[in-house]
Amino acid sequence: MNRLDTELRCSLADLERNGLRRNLRIIASEHGPRVVHNGVNLIMLCSNNYLGLAAHPLVKKAAIAAAERYGVGAGASRLVAGNLEPIRRLEANLADLKKTEAALVFGSGYLANLGVINALVGPGDAVFSDELNHASLIDGCRLSKAAVRIYRHCDFDHLRALLEQAVSARRRLIVTDSIFSMDGDFAPLREIVELARRFDAAVMIDEAHAVGVLGPDGAGLAAELGLEKEIDVHVGTLSKALGSYGAYVAGSSVLIDFLVNRARSFIYTTGLPPALAAAADTAIEIMKAEPQRIRRLWSNAAHLRQRLAQAGFALGSSRSPILPLHIGEAQTAIAMAARLLELGVYVIAIRPPTVPAGTARLRITPTAAHSIADLDEAADAIIQSGRELRLI
């Protein structure tokens, strides 16, 4: 074995010892309330397919029709020759959903966050970031070369103190998840917006887990709170509740025009495949036309939450359909996920560095597509495995 491989093998063994090694599992079916894994039909409880749209017949049909008409690949970056019609239509509908002047589709949420933060701040600027922000926001901050000020989770007093220290920065940008991806709690957007006004800062929010979950038409947390106009930069993904792939930034026309010119993760990458844009567009239509999906998502989450809480599980500060079942040690979380697989439930142990050390958890996400029978069966299995591991 060459030297590099020997060293890498050693690092992997370290991860294994600490319960931090990750492995890929294969799903051999479409994404629904149940999936097939290793030939077994399992209840899927860790996807972000909140509204059950990833395999909706009309969403699939839209993707197929777009592939028939426009082909599969976009062929080039959007500024060169990859700006196909379905993307333009999708952007108009996203701007309409978000009530902004314009929207811009990116290849993924990771790319959007990297590109936007880097385009907006650099040396001499300051960016303020919640300590539990998604990794893509963290990486965007790191790459930007702006001064990065990390505030304690949802602690706007701490944010205020950091803003007070940064009055000499050329530009101030506050970035936060709106619904936090691994905890399911909400950012204090009203307070953040107020601080932004007082300290002349811009606000960027990542609504990856709020689109399709909260607000009129599923527009997100800012819309739910009536704060759309106060947010400068709205980011969201097409890959979670909307069941497709890709992401968007919504805001003023000048912001979008600037990003087209300066966001490197927009400029130097191939355009989103037209089938995915058409699928997301159709998913938005369904989300708007069938608000019962969002209601069902919340009632399903309430049902499962109640069963798990009643059994004695700690679900943290979640206020959303994301149910973080707090376990603590990574090895225990892995053991529980493995046991649940045997019992017919597909969940994944979320461990550091995705979450802070000692806070490993099972992140359980019921969707609108689950039946109460699915959720009861899953709850029984979760409670059984929790008892076996003496967690409850």
Ligand X SMILES: *Cc1c(COP(=O)(O)O)cnc(C)c1O
**Residues in contact with ligand X by the rule CB under 6 A:** 108-110, 113, 134, 136, 177, 181, 206, 208-209, 237, 239, 247
CB of 137 to ligand X, least distance (A): 7
CB of 9 to ligand X, least distance (A): 29
CB of 246 to ligand X, least distance (A): 7
Closest CB to ligand X among 179 and 278? 179
Closest CB to ligand X among 22 and 69? 22
Closest CB to ligand X among 227 and 238? 238
- Written as six digits, the tokens of 220 are 């997100």
Say how far apart CA 275 and CA 278 lie, in whole Å: 5
Closest CB to ligand X among 42 and 210? 210
> Would you call 181 a catalytic residue per the annotation?
yes
Residue from 178, 181, 244, 318 carrying the catalytic annotation: 181
Give the CA count within 13 Å in the CB-facing half-sphere of 154: 13
Q: What is the DSSP string of 258-316?
A: HHHHH-HHHHTSBPPPHHHHHHHHHHHHHHHH-THHHHHHHHHHHHHHHHHHHTT---T
Closest CB to ligand X among 49 and 237? 237
Name the pairing type of β-strands 40-44 and 34-37. antiparallel
Cα angle 60-62-68, degrees, rounded to a multiple of 5 = 105
Closest CB to ligand X among 8 and 268? 268
DSSP letter assigned to residue 229: G
Q: What distances in angstroms separate CA 352 from CA 3, 360, 389, one per listed residue?
A: 27, 7, 21
Closest CB to ligand X among 306 and 317? 317
CB of 181 to ligand X, least distance (A): 4
CB of 251 to ligand X, least distance (A): 17
Say how far apart CA 195 and CA 160 lie, in whole Å: 7
Cα angle 189-355-110, degrees, rounded to a multiple of 5 = 65
Say how far apart CA 20 and CA 10 lie, in whole Å: 14
The neighbouring-strand residues paired with 172 are: 126
Residue from 240, 265, 320, 370 carrying the catalytic annotation: 240
Residue from 31, 56, 98, 209 carrying the catalytic annotation: 209
CB of 17 to ligand X, least distance (A): 29
Phi/psi of residue 146, each to 5°?
Answer: -75, 165
Residue with nearest beta carbon to ligand X: 109
Phi/psi of residue 279, each to 5°?
Answer: -65, -45
CB of 47 to ligand X, least distance (A): 11
Cα angle 355-359-361, degrees, rounded to a multiple of 5 = 85
Say how far apart CA 228 and CA 326 lie, in whole Å: 33
> Would you call 61 a catalytic residue per the annotation?
no
Which positions are annotated as active-site residues? 181, 209, 240
